[in-house]
Structure 1
Amino acid sequence: MLIFDKVSAGYGQSPVLFGLDLDLPSGSVSTLLGKNGMGKTTTVRTIFGLTSRITGDIVLNGRRINGLPAHQIARMGVALVPEGRQVFPTLTVVENLVATSRDVTAKARAAAVQQIFELFPRLEERKRSYANLLSGGEQQMLAIGRALMTRPRFLILDEATEGLAPVIRREIWAALKRLKEEHYTILVIDKSLKPLCKLGDRHNIIRKGECVWTGDSEGLAQPEGEAMRLLGV
């Protein structure tokens, strides 16, 4: 689905990624792990062309996407749930969802909204509430719902459950498990190793802008393993 081939990128004259190699297979859940400041969010921004690519190639479904604008990459089926959620505060839950819908007819949009409500029943309970009146967890559910309204082929979540209450985290992990069962291709950035081990197929650890470890959930969960050492857990 998505391949980074020796990608170096950064901001102005300040490089952040140094020859990053990643392989995110179609139909799988991949994770990107690492301490703060190691380049995880920069990796996501680079996918959307929001950083200055220096060298290397980014390939989506066999097509080189280097230099394409963010809106064109989104139209190719890549959707982002950004860190900080960034919902439209003065729109209701339903208005937020409809605003990003890819469906043309009102009937299709209504059906898509209902699918989001089935995934996140809390949102249906708050469907007429303005987004700025939602809890942080409800806003994160709404941000995921908005991304899904674009009918993506590849869903990216940056800090999927950061700072949320445990009950909300469980609901979001359950929703992502359901999306996995529906064969979505997903990249998750998060710090919660236990649910990531249950959800993820392929894990990647980034350190100082390079991928320094890739493996499966069994390898990630080894208490004395290389992955835990790199993460400092």
Structure 2
Amino acid sequence: MHSITLTQALLLTLMAIIVGVDFWLEAFFLFRPIIVGTLTGLILGDVHTGLIAGGLTELAFAGLTPAGGTQPPNPILAGLMTTVIAFTTGADPKTAIGLALPFSFLMQYIILFYYSSFSFFMAKADKYAEEANVKGLAKINILTTSIVALSYGIIVFLSVYVAQDLMKTVVQSMPAWLAHGFQIAGGILPAVGFGMLLRVMMKAEYTPYFIIGFFVASFLPFSNLLPVAVIGAALALYEYFRTKDQPVLNNVVATKGDDYSDGI
């Protein structure tokens, strides 16, 4: 078990503010759990734990995407707190995922609250838009974004620094059967997240690639999954170049067909 210093807590707070704004604006996708977990591990001096925790959390959140006004559990707090809990308590990252979910749900509810409460600014924003008042619109956007950023900073600082002793006590006092249950649930979550992603992406024409990937990952003796990732990247490039010019070819065929029919 390790303790988080004040400097580390402040760095995590600053990181949370940056990735929180990125999540709010959906700009560079730095908020993905695998990136947040890795950055958290880097700040804590344990990149290995950060990569494992971030990777597991990324798989669990792979199929969870905001749609309209709906908001899934917050990926930033999930990736960050999974790494922090694994680092500070010595818990397995699979167990840490389950323990990090309450923090993720808390931030989810806060963001949903902001979605509703920020409607207060809409009348003023409409007025500024009618007046073509760019500065006024900019002030509203900066204000609301600053509120969100400050919320991320406060929640993360309280969670990783103020409550770290409480988290250690909770984990240490858990009975073995409960800790094992969290570990099982944490191991299942990545499969569920990836299954949700496949439900959207999986098409009949992609089935051969799925079979190839499953065979390579399950039956060939690799010390790590890097070869599988390289094979997947090669197949993705093949599919990209195969379909890139397809609309052009279809248009050419259709045009020629029209020419022939006109001639007849």
TM-score category (smaller protein): under 0.3
Q: Whose helix fraction is larger, Structure 1's or Structure 2's? A: 2
* Higher RCO (CA 8 Å, separation ≥ 6 residues): 1
**Which has the higher Rg, Structure 1 or Structure 2?**
2
Q: TM-score, normalised by structure 2?
A: 0.23
Q: TM-score, normalised by structure 1?
A: 0.25
Q: Whose strand fraction is larger, Structure 1's or Structure 2's? A: 1
